[in-house]
């Protein structure tokens, strides 16, 4: 939750929780009862906080897990009934747009092009972006790869230590899905010439950055905006893939939930670096949430007041659903 402040915003409250909504989805095609219960419990906290703060403009989005799940409508109906929140199931193109918008302050004007990636739970988005002189991004192309940290971990049982062969197989299947995107936009030659900034926004890159910095606990002020050598990230990925769950969980800046999922994220990251071997990447602890806030606060954003409880039946599968009100209320 935030209030406008100049061309940006000031955060007044925040909350996050790993809920693994897509747990078991690959095998069953459905959101599991346990995952739904965890998610609704977290959303109740969000709804209560928004009510307490008097939020009048909001946007509530769901991504890959809801796009895939056969019981998505049932889930959205339960969320509306139990929390008063009306979920907007956004397509991958909108997810990519919001991620880029949220990260725009971290684009380096020395580069004219950027590759932005967002490693999620059920998919990974990659966006090929032009950087204008005022650092505003213009999306040239994007792709959504159907592998994220939750479903890839389930496929390869990545909670436990992996052999080098299995880890390489994980990397290879992700890279194979990226190659068509690379060929379509001819990215590799531009990367080899050093003309492309790479920017990563996900729990994977922020966790690896914390480990590299030897932080006793996660510190966003040290991580967000940091430049990391890809060789350091790859070394960490190799070490983590050979560790068991307990060894990973011992890192204070990682936490138990991330320890179970981080190896799959490392494999996705290695696939990206295999294809586009940049020397450094910029790390973003920001993305879709910040993109939505900037979008809601934009002068051209359509206005519609929000309220509790949920406002209309049926899940929305669009890229434009918003609920808005007064200009200086929290969003």
| Phi-psi category of residue 287: left, alpha or beta, with phi > 0 → left and psi -120 to 50 → alpha | left
> According to the CATH classification, is domain 92-286 in 3.30.420.150?
yes
Contact, 55 vs 1, CB < 8 A?
yes
pLDDT tops 50 at residue 138:
yes
Got the DSSP string for 156-187? HTTTS---HHHHHHHHHHHHHHHHHHHHHHTH
Q: Check residue 201 and give its pLDDT.
A: 92
pLDDT (tens digit per residue) in 230-286: 999 999 999 999 999 999 999 988 878 889 899 999 999 999 999 999 999 999 999
> Please, what is the average pLDDT of the chain?
88
* Domain 2-89 shares a fold with domain 92-286: yes
Does the predicted model carry a pTM greater than 0.85? no
3-class SS of residue 208: helix
Give residue 314's pLDDT band: very low, low, confident or very high (50, 70, 90).
Answer: very low
Domain borders along the chain are: 2-89, 92-286
* Domain at 2-89: CATH code: 3.30.420.40
Average pLDDT of 59-86? 95
Give residue 331's pLDDT band: very low, low, confident or very high (50, 70, 90).
Answer: low
Q: Check residue 276 and give its pLDDT.
A: 97
Average pLDDT of 219-229? 94
Provide, rounded to the nearest whole percent, the portion of the chain with pLDDT above 90: 67
Strand partners for 280: 229
Q: Token pair for residue 158?
A: 């990545």
Kindly provide the b/e burial profile for residues 103-119, where b requires at least 16 CB atoms within 10 angstroms of the residue's own CB: bbebbeeebebbbbbbb
Give residue 330's pLDDT band: very low, low, confident or very high (50, 70, 90).
Answer: low
Average pLDDT of 114-124? 92
pLDDT tops 90 at residue 130:
yes
Average pLDDT of 160-183? 95
Got the DSSP string for 41-101? HHHHHHHHHHHHHT---B--EE-HHHHH-TTHHHHHHHHHHHH----EE--HHHHHHHHHH
Q: Check residue 300 and give its pLDDT.
A: 41
Quote the CA–CA distance of 131 and 180 in Å, as a whole number: 23
């Amino acid at each position: 939750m935030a209030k406008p402040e100049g061309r940006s915003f000031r955060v007044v409250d925040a909350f996050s929780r790993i809920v693994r909504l897509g747990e078991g989805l690959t095998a069953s095609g459905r959101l599991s009862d346990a995952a739904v219960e965890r998610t609704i419990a977290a959303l109740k906290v969000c709804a209560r906080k928004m009510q307490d703060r008097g939020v009048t403009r909001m946007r509530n989005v769901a991504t890959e897990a809801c796009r895939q799940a056969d019981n998505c409508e049932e889930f959205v109906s339960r969320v509306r009934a139990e929390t008063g929140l009306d979920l907007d199931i956004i397509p991958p193109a909108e997810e990519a747009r919001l991620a880029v918008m949220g990260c725009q302050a971290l684009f380096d004007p020395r580069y004219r092009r950027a590759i932005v990636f967002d490693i999620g739970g059920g998919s990974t988005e990659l966006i090929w972006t032009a950087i204008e002189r005022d650092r505003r991004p213009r999306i040239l192309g994007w792709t959504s790869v159907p592998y994220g940290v939750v479903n890839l971990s389930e496929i390869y049982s990545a909670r436990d230590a992996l052999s080098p062969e299995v880890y390489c197989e994980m990397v290879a299947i992700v890279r194979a899905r990226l190659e068509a995107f690379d060929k379509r936009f001819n990215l590799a030659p531009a990367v080899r010439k050093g003309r492309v900034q790479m920017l990563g926004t996900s729990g994977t890159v922020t966790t690896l950055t914390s480990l590299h910095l030897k932080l006793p606990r996660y510190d966003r002020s040290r991580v967000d905006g940091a430049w990391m050598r890809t060789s350091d990230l790859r070394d960490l990925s190799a070490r983590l893939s050979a560790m068991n769950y307990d060894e990973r969980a011992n890192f204070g800046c990682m936490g138990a939930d991330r320890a179970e999922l981080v190896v799959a994220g490392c494999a996705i990251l290695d696939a990206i670096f295999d294809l586009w071997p940049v020397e450094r990447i910029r790390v973003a602890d920001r993305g879709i949430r910040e993109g939505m806030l900037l979008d809601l606060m934009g002068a051209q954003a359509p206005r519609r007041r929000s309220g509790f409880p949920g406002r209309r039946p049926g899940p929305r599968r669009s890229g434009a659903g918003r609920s808005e009100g007064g200009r200086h209320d929290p969003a």
